[in-house]
Amino acid sequence: MNIFNMTALQLGEKIKNKEISCIEVINYFFTNVTNKSNGYITLTQDYAINRAKYIQSKIDKSENLSILAGVPISIKDNICTKNIKTTCASKMLKDFIPSYSSTVFKRLENAGAILVGKNNMDEFAMGDTGKTSFYGSCKNPWDNTKSTGGSSSGCASTLSCKEAILTLGSDTGGSIRQPSSFCSITGIKPTYGLISRYGLVSFAPKFDQIGPMTKDALDCAKTLEIISGYDKYDNTTIKKSNFTFINKNFNVKGLKIGVCKNFIEYSNKDVQKEIINAINIFKNMGAIIEEINLDILDYSIPTYKILSNVQCTSNMARYDGIKYGYSPKDVGNLEKLCIQSRTDAFGVEVKTRIMFGNFILKNKNTHYNNAINAKNYITKQFKDAFNKHDILLTPTTPTTAISFNGDNDSDIFLVSSNICGIPAISIPCGFTKNNMPVGMQLIGNYLKDDVILNTAIQFQKCTNFHLKTHNII
What is the set of active-site residues?
76, 151, 175
Nearest-approach distance from CB 88 to ligand GLN, in angstroms: 11
Burial degree of 358 (CB within 10 A; 0-12, 13-18, 19+): middle
- Does 125 bind ligand GLN (CB under 6 A)? Our answer is yes
Nearest-approach distance from CB 65 to ligand GLN, in angstroms: 32
Choose, by CB under 6 A, the member of 72, 98, 173, 395 that binds ligand GLN: 173
> What is the C-alpha separation between 107 and 171, in angstroms, rounded?
19
Within 374-393, the residues that bind ligand GLN by CB under 6 A are: none
Residue nearest ligand GLN, CB atom distance: 175
Choose, by CB under 6 A, the member of 38, 104, 108, 128 that binds ligand GLN: 128
- Does 175 bind ligand GLN (CB under 6 A)? Our answer is yes
**Comparison of 123 and 449: residue with beta carbon closer to ligand GLN:** 123
User: Would you give the DSSP letter of residue 446?
Assistant: T
Nearest-approach distance from CB 89 to ligand GLN, in angstroms: 12
Residue 237's nearest CA partner among 185, 187, 200 is 200
**Comparison of 116 and 306: residue with beta carbon closer to ligand GLN:** 306
**Comparison of 203 and 459: residue with beta carbon closer to ligand GLN:** 203
Query: In Å, how far are 38, 86, 226, 473 from 34, measured between CA atoms?
Result: 9, 20, 29, 11
Q: Give the binding-site size for ligand GLN (rule: CB under 6 A).
A: 13
Burial degree of 470 (CB within 10 A; 0-12, 13-18, 19+): middle
3-state secondary structure of 84: strand
- Omega into 181 within 30° of 0, i.e. cis? no
- Does 123 bind ligand GLN (CB under 6 A)? Our answer is no
Choose, by CB under 6 A, the member of 112, 127, 179, 258 that binds ligand GLN: 127
What residue type is assigned to position 50 of the chain? N
Phi first, then psi, for residue 301 (nearest 5°) are: -70, -45
Binding range to ligand GLN, per CB under 6 A, among 21-29, 42-50, 120-128, 291-299:
120-128
- Measured torsion, CA atoms of residues 260, 261, 262, 267, in degrees rounded to the nearest 10: 100
**Comparison of 180 and 458: residue with beta carbon closer to ligand GLN:** 180
Total number of residues shown for the chain:
473
Beta bridge partners of 76: 119
Nearest-approach distance from CB 242 to ligand GLN, in angstroms: 28
Within 196-215, the residues that bind ligand GLN by CB under 6 A are: 203
**Comparison of 24 and 349: residue with beta carbon closer to ligand GLN:** 349
Choose, by CB under 6 A, the member of 77, 123, 163, 171 that binds ligand GLN: 171
Nearest-approach distance from CB 74 to ligand GLN, in angstroms: 17
- Does 411 bind ligand GLN (CB under 6 A)? Our answer is yes
> What is the C-alpha separation between 248 and 38, in angstroms, rounded?
37
Nearest-approach distance from CB 127 to ligand GLN, in angstroms: 5
Nearest-approach distance from CB 258 to ligand GLN, in angstroms: 24
Within 287-326, the residues that bind ligand GLN by CB under 6 A are: 308
CB 96 within 8 A of CB 85: yes
Residue 208's nearest CA partner among 232, 230, 190 is 190
- Does 174 bind ligand GLN (CB under 6 A)? Our answer is yes
Phi first, then psi, for residue 212 (nearest 5°) are: -75, 145
CB 204 within 8 A of CB 185: no
Binding range to ligand GLN, per CB under 6 A, among 167-175, 211-219, 340-348, 393-401:
167-175
Residues in CB range of 274: below 8 A, 6 or more apart? 429, 430, 431, 432, 438, 440
**Comparison of 127 and 187: residue with beta carbon closer to ligand GLN:** 127
Nearest-approach distance from CB 174 to ligand GLN, in angstroms: 5
Beta bridge partners of 457: none
Choose, by CB under 6 A, the member of 172, 300, 313, 426 that binds ligand GLN: 172
Within 141-160, the residues that bind ligand GLN by CB under 6 A are: 151
- Does 398 bind ligand GLN (CB under 6 A)? Our answer is no
> What is the C-alpha separation between 5 and 193, in angstroms, rounded?
33
**Comparison of 81 and 175: residue with beta carbon closer to ligand GLN:** 175
CB 369 within 8 A of CB 310: no
- Does 77 bind ligand GLN (CB under 6 A)? Our answer is no
- Does 449 bind ligand GLN (CB under 6 A)? Our answer is no
> What is the C-alpha separation between 193 and 423, in angstroms, rounded?
10
How open is the CA angle 472-89-44, to the nearest 5 degrees? 75
Site for ligand GLN, rule CB under 6 A:
125-128, 151, 171-175, 203, 308, 411
